[in-house]
Amino acid sequence: MCFTKQQLWTVAAVIFGLVTLLHALRLANNWAAQIGPYVIPIWFSWIAVAVAAYLAYEFWKHSGEKPAKKGRK
């Protein structure tokens, strides 16, 4: 299966949008997160929301771009 660049940008935007949503839900509901023996502090989700939301926005912006035309200048 072959994807276009625009489709890949869209998939990446959706994934990062879901990550943003999950971290926002964690903040709103004060959910605990743990990876093995390590407890992830709640402040980490504030950073994750900001970074993931920015990446989702940037990927979404790129998903709507028209491909550059080759040839004539």
| Least reliable range by pLDDT among 7-11, 51-55, 67-71 | 67-71
Q: Mean of the pLDDT values across residues 8-19?
A: 96
**pLDDT digits over 23-59, tens only?**
999 999 999 999 999 999 999 999 999 999 999 999 9
69, pLDDT greater than 80 = no
Confidence at residue 3, expressed as pLDDT on a 0 to 100 scale: 86
Q: What DSSP line would sit under 25-45, residue for residue?
A: HHHHHT--EEETTEEEPTHHH
Neighbours of 50 (CB within 10 A): 12
User: Domain locations in the chain?
Assistant: 5-63
Record the pTM.
0.81
